[in-house]
Structure 1
C-alpha cells in the first residue's frame, strides 16, 4: 500500500496576506523614493521629479523644470543615493532572514554577531594598505573575506550538540565585534587622513557620496545574493523541523548551511563596502515580516527585501532632512529603532526559553 505525501500549500487567506504585504511595501518604496527625490535643500515638487525622470528616459514633458540644476540634483545626487539605499536595505534584510534560518535563532543578525564589523575591517584594510589586487573589486573582495571569516567564526564557536546556543551566539558576536573594533582602531591610527575619514564613515553608516560606478559594483552582488536566496528558500523551511528530520528528508544540511553562510557574507560585504555598518535592519525587518505573513522562507525573503529597502529609504530621507544643512548617519537612525526592538526580542526569547540557565 502506497502512502501519498501531500505538500502543504498556503491557504487562500495567507496567500492574500502575502500579496497585500508585498504590494503595500512596493507601493511605499516607490512613494518614499519619489518624495525623497524632491525633498532637500533644493526642493522639487513630485510632478517636477517625474518630469525629470521622464525627460531622462527620452520623453519630453511640460512637468520638467527649465533649470538644468534640477536634473543634476535628481539624476546625479539623489537618485544614485536612493538606488544604493534600496540595494543595501534589501541585502541586509535578506542576510538577516538567512542567518536566522541557518542558526535557528531569532537573535541572529549580521551586525549583532559581528559580520558587518568583519566586513568593514576587511574593506578598511584594503584602503589603508593601498591594495589594488582586483581593481575596483578589491575593496568589496576584502570586505567579503572579512565577513566570511567573521560568520564562520560565529558558526564554529556557537554550535554545540547540533544546535546554536543563544548565549554563546551573543557572546561570540561581542567578541568578534570587539576584535574587529580593535582592528579598525589600529587602521585608523595607521592610515592617512583620507582613509581615516572613510573608516569613520563605515563605522557610522551613510549613503552620502553614492556614485553610479559604486552601484554598478553593488548591484550584481546583491542581485545574485537575493536570487540565490530565493532559490534555496524552500529548503530552509526544513530547518524548522530539526536537522535530523531534515537529513532524513534528503536535505544536505551542512552543504546548505555553508552555501547560506557564503551568501550572507556576499550580501553583507556588498552593503558594508559602500554604505558602512548599518545595524539592526537584518534583525527588525525579518521579524516584522514573519509576524505579518508567517514563517515560510520564500515569501519571507521577497517581502524582507522590499521591507529592508523601504526602511533604508525612509532612514535616508530622515538623515538628509531632519537637521538643516546636515547629513545624519543612517546607522544611528536604524540603531535608534533596532536597539529597543532587540531588547524586547531578547526578553521575549528568554521568557519563552524559561531563562538562559
Structure 2
C-alpha cells in the first residue's frame, strides 16, 4: 500500500512540473499582433472657430422722463408693440417746496407791479388824451404796463409748470406724458404705478420707464480668443446656433471686430458683432444665448486621412509620415505632405492615393 502511495505522489509531482513548464512557455510566447488599416478618402476639410455670445436687438432705446415725480399710470407692458410717439406712461409731479414757494412769491410780486403800472398807465392816459404830454412820453408808460402784464403771465405759467408740468400755452405738450421715441416692441418696464422717478439731466441719467427695441433687426454679440482673432475679418459668414432653437441654423455676417481686447480668466478676448439674417418662421427673443461657427478656411473634395494615423519622426513636425501596408501585415514608412486640418481629419497633398492602406497605430 505504501508503495502505491509513493508512486502516486511521484506521478503527481512530475505532472505538476510538466504543467508548470507548459504554462510558463505559453505565457512567455509573443502573440501575433494584427493591425487594422484604413484607406484615405475624398472629403471636405473645414477649419472653424466658435464664438460664444448672445443675440440682441441692434437698436434698443431706454425711455427716460424729463421731469421727476411719481408714476401715475402705465399704458404698456413687456411684449406690446408700440409706434413712435405712442403713450407709455403718465407722471404725477410732486413739486419741490422751495421752487413752489419761489414761484408763488414771484407771481405775487408780478401782480403788485402790474397794479402799480396800471394805475400809472390809466392816469397818464387821461393826461395824454387832454394833450398835456407828448405821445413819445406816454409810450414809455404803455410799455411799462405791457411789461407788467407779461411778467404776471410768465409767473402764472411758471407756477403751473411746477405744479402740473404743463402751461396754458403749451396745450397738450407736456413732460408728464412719456412717449416712445421709436417704433418697436416693449422689452421691459422696470417701474410700477407709484414708483418715484428721476428726470434726465447733466448729473443723472434718470430712471428708465421702459426699454423699446426693433426686433426686426438683430445682431450677434460675442467674444473670440486672441489666438484666432487675426484669422477673421469683416464680411465673413457665420453660422449661428441658438440654444433655445436647436433644430435651426441662422446665417450671419461679421460686421465688427473690436480693436481692443479684454482679459478674462487669463485669456484676452475680443468682442465681435454680426448681423443676423432672420427667418419669418421663428421669433428670436432678445438675450438668447448663441454660438457662432466661423469658417476660417476650407478645402473641398480633397484627399484626407484621420489625424490619428499621422506619425512624426523624432517629434519633428516637418517629417510627417504614415505606415503603408505592402503585404499582409507588412508595413513600410512613407513620408507625406499635409495641408489643412480640422482637428479630426487632415488634407493630404502628396504621398498617398485612395488605394493605399494606412496602418492604424493601435493594435487589435
Q: Give the TM-score normalised by the residue count of structure 2.
A: 0.18
Greater percentage in helix:
1
Larger radius of gyration: 2
Greater percentage in strand:
2
